[in-house]
Amino acid sequence: MTPRQVENHVDAVAAALGLPLSPAHRPGVLRYFALAAEFAAVVEAVPLPMHAESAVHFSPVAPSEKEA
């Protein structure tokens, strides 16, 4: 996304949610959203077979002491 697209999207979503965005917080929100959009693009770039299904449930597991 271009910087302008990020700004437009953040503004539209904040307005739709009725979420006031403080001018002091705006640069950080825009930076974070741009980063999240980059992560999403990386994930979307991974080709999946037609039979791939999303996980029904994800249960995180703490790393064992041997792995730490």
Judged by average pLDDT, the poorest of 26-30, 32-36, 39-43, 47-51 is 47-51
47-60 pLDDT tens trace: 989 888 887 888 88
Contact 59, 28 (CB under 8 A): no
Residues 6+ apart with CB under 8 A from 30: 3, 6, 7, 10
This prediction's pTM:
0.66
Would you kindly state where each structural domain of the chain is located, as residue ranges? Answer: 3-38
C-alpha triplet 43, 9, 55: angle, nearest 5°: 30
Q: Span 3-26, mean pLDDT?
A: 96
